[in-house]
Amino acid sequence: MDSISPSDTEAALAQAARRVLPAGGFGNFAPEVILREGHGGRVWDVAGREYIDYLLGSGPMFLGHSHPEVLAAVGAQLPLGTTFFATSEPGIRLAEAIVAALPCAEQLRFVSSGSEADMYALRVARAFRKRDRILKFEGGYHGMSDWGLMSLAPKQLANFPVAVPDSAGIPRSVREEVLVAPFNDLETARSLIAEHHDELGAIILEPFQRLIPPAPGFLQGMRELATQYGIPLIFDEVVTGFRFCYGGAQDYYGVTPDLCTLGKIIGGGFPLAAIAGRADIMAHFDRGIVGDDGFLMQVGTLSGNPVASVAGLATLEVLRRPGAYDGVFAMGRRMMAEMEGMLRRHGVPGRAVGEPPLFDIVFAEEAPRDYRGTLRADAAVQRHVNAVLRERGILKGESKYYLSTAHDARDEAQTLEAFEAALASLPRG
So which residues are the catalytic ones? 141, 236, 264
Of the candidates 389, 376, 378, the residue with the CA atom closest to the CA atom of residue 421? 389
What SS3 class is residue 385?
helix
Q: Which amino acid would we find at residue 408? A: D
3-class SS shares of the chain: helix, strand, coil, % to 5:
45, 15, 40
Q: Say how far residue 349 (Cα) sits from the centre of its chain.
A: 27
Cβ contacts of 293 within 8 Å, gap of 6 or more? none
For the beta sheet containing 133-137, the strands, ordered from the edge strand earlier in sequence to the opposite edge, are 107-111, 273-277, 259-262, 233-237, 200-205, 133-137, 178-181
Asked if 251 contacts 100 with a C-beta cutoff of 8 angstroms, the reply is no
Cβ contacts of 2 within 8 Å, gap of 6 or more? none
Angle at 105 between CA 71 and CA 68, to 5 degrees: 10
Of the candidates 230, 229, 233, the residue with the CA atom closest to the CA atom of residue 219? 233
Q: Which amino acid would we find at residue 296? A: L
How far is 45 from 10, CA to CA, in rounded Å? 9
Q: Say how far residue 189 (Cα) sits from the centre of its chain.
A: 23
Asked if 339 contacts 419 with a C-beta cutoff of 8 angstroms, the reply is yes
Q: According to DSSP H, which parts of 50-145 are helical? A: 68-77, 89-101, 114-129
Listing DSSP states for 366-406 in one string gives S--SSHHHHTTS-HHHHHHHHHHHHHTTEE-BTTBEE--TT
CA atoms within 13 A on the CB side of 49: 16
How far is 305 from 206, CA to CA, in rounded Å? 26
Q: Which amino acid would we find at residue 155? A: K
Backbone angles phi, psi at 344, to 5 degrees: -65, -45
Q: Burial, 265: exposed, middle or buried (Cβ in 10 Å; 0-12, 13-18, 19+)? A: buried
